[in-house]
Structure 1
C-alpha cells in the first residue's frame, strides 16, 4: 500500500496502526501458538461458520487465519491433523522466489545473470545466442519466451525447452522454466535444495517441510502451520521476530510488486491483488481490474493447483492458509481464492482496506450473483456490442451480440464466468459473473 494512503487510513482508522514490531511470532521448538478470538477482534464469527460448511464440502484439509501473528482460525477436515503434511503445488513457487532472493544477497547469484551460468550451456533447445539472453529474472517473472505450446509444457528436458518469443516480451504461466530453477539454485549455492531450504527456513523460522523432485515437478510438502509461518515471515518484510532473514529489502519489495508490464498482477512468482489488470494461467487474455475485486487490495498470494493458498494482507496484518483438494482443473484456481477472500473480508467486520472497483462504470450485470436463467445487462451504449462468455477455466461457452439494456439468456452451471464486451471501436470491458 502507498505509504501516504496508509498514513491517511491510520488517521481515520487507528486500528490499522498495528506496528509490525507488535506481531506475535510462535516459538520454533514447541507447538505453542497464541490465539485470539473473534470476540476479542470484534469480527463476525457467523460468517466463518457459513464458510466452514463450504470448506468441508469442497475438499479442504486445513484452513487457518492469523491476525497480528496470532491464530484466529485453525481448522482441520477429513482426518487431517495439525502435524499432517500436504503438497503446496505451485504455491511453492513463491517460496522458491524467496530462496532466490537469499541466494542473491549471499552473492551466490544475480537475477540479472544469464541462466546458463548456472544451468550450463545447452540447458535448452535454443541457440547459444538465444539462450544467453534468458536471465534468472525471466524465470522469476514467467517471461523466458520459451514455447509453452509444446506437447508437454511441464517437461524440463532440453528438447522440450524451445524458442517462441524474445525473453521479456511475452508473459505466460509456464511451469518448466520455473521447475528448472531447482537445478539453478543448487548449482549457484553448491547445496542440495532440501538442505538449503532447511538451513535458511526451517532452522530460522521453524518450518518443517521437504521437497520431492518427480516427473519434472518440484513438489514441496509441509504442515499448514509451516505455510502460515512463511506467511508471517512475508508479512514482517523478511524478518522473523528480531532476526533478519532477508536483508535485501529491495529484492523483497520487487518480489511482491509488479515485476513486468505484461501482467501487472504478477511479481516474482507471487500473485498480486489490487492491480489495474492481470492475466491468468493458460491464457493470453487481459482481465481488467484486480484479481479479487471485493478483496483486500494490498493482498498478495502464493497459489497452487487444487487451491493451495497462502494470502498475505499487510494493511490488516492478516494471513490466510488453505490446503486440500478442489474440483477445479485450473493450475491456479481463483474461484476458491474469491470465495475465501470474500468471506475473510466479511469476517473482518472492522477492516477497511477494500476498495470499490469500477464504481462509476455504467455497465451493470443484474443480478450478480445470479441463480436465474436470464441476466440483465444494463448501461450498454446505444450500439450493438459483441460479447464472448468464458467459464473460469477460460473455455468459451457462448458468444453473440447484445443491444442496449439486453437480457442474456443462459443455461450455465454454478461457478465463475467472464463476460468480455467489445464495442465497434474494438474497445472492451470484462465483467465477472457468478452463477449460483
Structure 2
C-alpha cells in the first residue's frame, strides 16, 4: 500500500512540473494581438467617420506639434495625417484643402499597382514569375525577342526590366529599348505600368474595374484613375490614402478580411533584388546599408531616410506625396501637397527633416 502511495505522489509531481514548464513558455514572436495588446482599429467602409486618439493619451510631446505643423505649412503641404494603431492622432489641412478634396498620388500610386498585382496572383489569374509577354503578347518592347522574353512581371515590380530608363515616361514599344538583360540592372522606370495591362488581360476586366472591386471598395477607399499624359494617375482624398497605408501596416488584412495575401505583402516590403537593397515591389525601404535613386546608377551608402525608423517602408511620389508605414510603432503617416522645395524628385531632404520633426513629437 505504501509503495502505491509513493508511486501516485511521484506521478503527480511529474505531471505538475510538466504542466508548469509548459505554461512558462513564451508566446511565439509572431503571435498576433496578445490579450494585453489593443486591437488595431479600422474605420467603417460605408462612411468617413474615424475614431481618434489624443496626443496626450500616447504620451507624445504636445509642445513640439506646432513646430511640425509650421514646417508642413511652409513646405507647401495640403494635408497631413498620422494614424497610430489605426486611429487618427493628427489630421491637418492647409491652404484651403479639406478632408473631401481629392489630390493625386503620383508615383506613390505605384504601390496600388503592386497590391492589385498580388491580388490577381492570389486569385490564380497570373504568376509574377511568368514573362510579361505571356499576358500581353510579344512585341510590347523594341528589345530583341529573346531579351524581351527575359522580362517577368516580377522584373516590373522590382524595377529590373533592363529597359532604357533615359527615354522618358512613354511606354509605347518604340520607346522601350533594351539596355541590359532583365534582373542585371536596377533603374526607376515607368514601364511598371505595363502591370496594369497584364492584370487587365489576365482577368478579362479593365484595370479600373478590377482595382475597384478587389481593392478600393474592399477597404472603403474613394477615388479614381485619371489619365495624365502617358500615365494613369490615382486621385483620392487623404483619408483614402490613409486607408491603404493602414492595409499595408496590417499586412494586407482589413478588419479580418485578407484582401492581399500576407506573404505577398511581406515580400513587397522586403528587399526584392540584390542591386537596390532599399526597394521592394514598388515600395521604398528604409534601414538598409545602401540605396539607389531614380535617374542615376550611383549607389548611395547608408539609409534612405536616416532620421526615420529602420523598419519604415514607404510610397513616394512626385511633388512629395508620401505614405510612410512604421510597423514597430504601428504608425501610418500621410502627406499630400505641392513639392516641398519646388523641385520634382520623389526624394529630397524633406523626408529626413520631416522625420526629425515627427520624432520630436512621438518620442
- Per the normalisation by structure 2, the TM-score is 0.88
Question: How far apart, CA to CA, are the structure 2 residues paired with 1:322 and 1:94?
Answer: 15
Tell me if 1:187 matches 2:204: no
* 1:18, distance to aligned residue in structure 2 (A): 7.5
Indicate how the Cα distance of structure 1 residues 17 and 62 shifts in structure 2: closer, same or farther if over 3 A, else same: farther
Tell me if 1:120 matches 2:118: no
Could you say which residue in structure 1 is the equivalent of 2:75?
58
Structure 2 portions without partners, runs of 5+: 1-25
Question: How far apart, CA to CA, are the structure 2 residues paired with 1:306 and 1:290?
Answer: 21
Structure 1 portions without partners, runs of 5+: 8-15, 350-436
Greater relative contact order, per chain length (Cα 8 Å cut-off, separation 6+): 2
Q: Equivalent residue of 1:301, what SS?
A: strand
Could you say which residue in structure 1 is the equivalent of 2:353?
339
Could you say which residue in structure 2 is the equivalent of 1:36?
53
Q: Equivalent residue of 1:204, what SS?
A: coil
Bigger fraction of residues in helix:
2
Q: 2:242·2:332 contact (CA, 8 Å) conserved in 1?
A: yes
Could you say which residue in structure 1 is the equivalent of 2:289?
276
Tell me if 1:236 matches 2:236: no
Query: Which string of whole-angstrom CA distances, capped at 9 and with x for unpartnered residues, describes residues 150-177 of structure 1?
Result: 3xx20111110000101000111112x1
Which one of the candidate residues 182, 189, 202 is aligned to 1:167?
A: 182
Q: 1:145·1:169 contact (CA, 8 Å) conserved in 2?
A: yes
Q: Which has the larger radius of gyration?
A: 2
Could you say which residue in structure 1 is the equivalent of 2:156?
139
Q: 1:24·1:68 contact (CA, 8 Å) conserved in 2?
A: yes
Tell me if 1:149 matches 2:166: yes
* RMSD between aligned residues: 2.0
Q: 2:166·2:295 contact (CA, 8 Å) conserved in 1?
A: no
Question: How far apart, CA to CA, are the structure 2 residues paired with 1:340 and 1:64?
Answer: 13
Could you say which residue in structure 1 is the equivalent of 2:94?
77
Question: How far apart, CA to CA, are the structure 2 residues paired with 1:336 and 1:298?
Answer: 19
* 1:328, distance to aligned residue in structure 2 (A): 4.1
Question: How far apart, CA to CA, are the structure 1 residues paired with 2:36 and 2:132?
Answer: 41
- Per the normalisation by structure 1, the TM-score is 0.74
Which one of the candidate residues 303, 311, 332 is aligned to 2:324?
A: 311
Question: How far apart, CA to CA, are the structure 2 residues paired with 1:74 and 1:241?
Answer: 22
Could you say which residue in structure 1 is the equivalent of 2:125?
108
* 1:127, distance to aligned residue in structure 2 (A): 1.6
* 1:212, distance to aligned residue in structure 2 (A): 1.5
Query: Which string of whole-angstrom CA distances, capped at 9 and with x for unpartnered residues, describes residues 341-386 of structure 1?
Result: 222222111xxxxxxxxxxxxxxxxxxxxxxxxxxxxxxxxxxxxx
Question: How far apart, CA to CA, are the structure 2 residues paired with 1:41 and 1:195?
Answer: 40
Q: Equivalent residue of 2:218, what SS?
A: helix
Tell me if 1:267 matches 2:275: no
